[in-house]
Amino acid sequence: MSASGDSAGVEDGAARELLRDLVEIPSPTGEEAACAERLAAFFEEHAREVWVDEVGNVRAPADDAVLLTSHVDTVPGEIPVEVKDGELWGRGSVDAKGPLASMAAAAVETGVSYVGVVGEETNSRGARFLVEDRDAPDAVVNGEPSGWDGVTLGYRGFLAGEYAVGTDSTHTSRPEPNAIQHAMAWWETVEREFESADTDEETDGETDADASVFEQVTAKPVEFSGGTADDGLSVEASVAAQFRIPPGESAGAVRSAVETALDGEANEGEIDWREPIPPVMESPRTEVARAFRVTIRRAGGDPRLLRKTGTSDMNIFAGAWDCPMATYGPGDSELDHAPNERLDLAEFDRAVAVLTDVCEDLQP
């Protein structure tokens, strides 16, 4: 099926033009409005219904046989936007404006539904609003870099919390532990509880490299602060921590294990937990996974089925919607958030073609 209704197809070069425009417009989390306007204008130019909803998502509903969705926001950081040796350099070129733009082009070509969501890099506020505000589609393709010949079927879940502790201030010559020492002891206990392979699980590594990590709970401190309070009467300390949770484990079990660390010497503080994101592992035998395998082979590739050690909006969608889904998009995930983030434009073109064929395959 080609573009539905009165919508016009994407002319040669228009997808690349959209991509460059999106990359040139800074959109760190919380500042997505200008980028969302450019994305909405692309759908208006192609006679598609589109609006920006109350949280900032770009909504272009159409044929719900497939919902294509990726995120508008990026992490902070300025990288000069330029094309060198066939690669587009710039913040967000890989994560995830390459997937975002390729999906916009495929949505216009095939007439399927599309949403550009906000806030994925922090609290997934766009995806959380979306699953509450609309019914489940027949299938979902989430946009994150997987390489044009890769399809991501699994992500670990996510749990964040902050340990806080305070003690009376005393002279530093006294032997009693202060709040900073309590916080350090607590984190050492947590690390022992979740001892795992020494790897950077924030890189969203793939199955072959990080299979053992995908199957483990890993713990990472992301902020440590402490010192004498302004009034001089107490010492305060806090540790912000993140936990990645594999399929088969629950956030409740991880929470319980972490809280047992309060029963020892560090039994002085409290933990404030954030809302967890559950893990997801889709079957390789769904119609979505099959459509990608067939299409990638048809295009001359050898399909790679991936699991990522990080977390994405697909976790949110899988927790709310009972429909087949996968994550796909051009780009090397090793360049996510990196100072040398760049996207091969030929790969971008191939991803647009793959997405277009997959959507046509999944439409009745």
Annotation marks residue 206 as catalytic:
no
CB 331 within 8 A of CB 99: yes
Please tell me which residue in 120, 121, 149, 236 is annotated as part of the active site: 120
Residues 139, 355: Cα–Cα separation, whole Å: 13
- β-pairing verdict for 218-228 and 234-245: antiparallel
Tokens of 268: 């002085």
Joined tokens for residue 305:
């089925």
- In this structure, the strands spanning 140-143 and 325-328 are parallel
CA–CA distance, 212 with 270 (Å, rounded to integer)? 31
Gap between the Cα atoms of 72 and 301, Å rounded: 28
Beta-strand runs (E) in the chain: 51-52, 58-60, 63-71, 82-84, 87-89, 112-117, 140-143, 150-155, 157-168, 218-228, 234-245, 270-273, 280-281, 304-308, 325-328, 342-344
Of the residues 73, 109, 206, 313, which is catalytic?
Answer: 73
Taking residue 169's Cβ as centre, other Cβ atoms within 10 Å add up to 17
How open is the CA angle 310-313-315, to the nearest 5 degrees? 70
120 is an active site residue: yes
Which residues are marked as active site? 73, 120
